């Protein structure tokens, strides 16, 4: 697959998941990462942590 991607000037990032997790952690976000199509694509979602029930309420 890497040879095929190189034909389109695309360079895969083997460390993409780790980089996204590190960036999310630096910003206090949670990160969910899924690979798709046998590693061809990556779906990453970074969002703030969900509030804990009972904390910060009136």
Closest CA to 45 of 25, 19, 24, 27: 24
Question: Where in the sequence is the domain holding 30, given as residue range(s)?
Answer: 14-47
The count of domains in the chain is: 1
pLDDT at 56: 47
In the chain, which stretches have pLDDT less than 70? 53-58
List the alpha helices (DSSP H) in 1-58.
Answer: 2-6, 16-26
pLDDT at 30: 94
Does residue 57 belong to any structural domain of this protein? Answer: no
**Model pTM score:** 0.63
pLDDT at 18: 93
Does residue 29 belong to any structural domain of this protein? Answer: yes
Q: Are 1 and 10 in contact (CB under 8 A)?
A: no
Beta strand residue intervals within the chain, DSSP E: 30-36, 41-47
Find how far residue 54's CA is from the centre of its chain: 29
How far apart are the C-alpha atoms of 29 and 24, rounded to whole Å?
5
């Amino acid at each position: 697959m890497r040879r095929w991607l190189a034909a389109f000037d695309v360079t895969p990032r083997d460390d993409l998941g780790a980089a996204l997790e590190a960036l999310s952690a630096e910003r206090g976000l949670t990160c969910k990462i899924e690979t798709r199509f046998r590693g061809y694509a990556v779906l990453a979602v970074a969002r703030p942590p969900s509030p804990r029930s009972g904390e910060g309420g009136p």
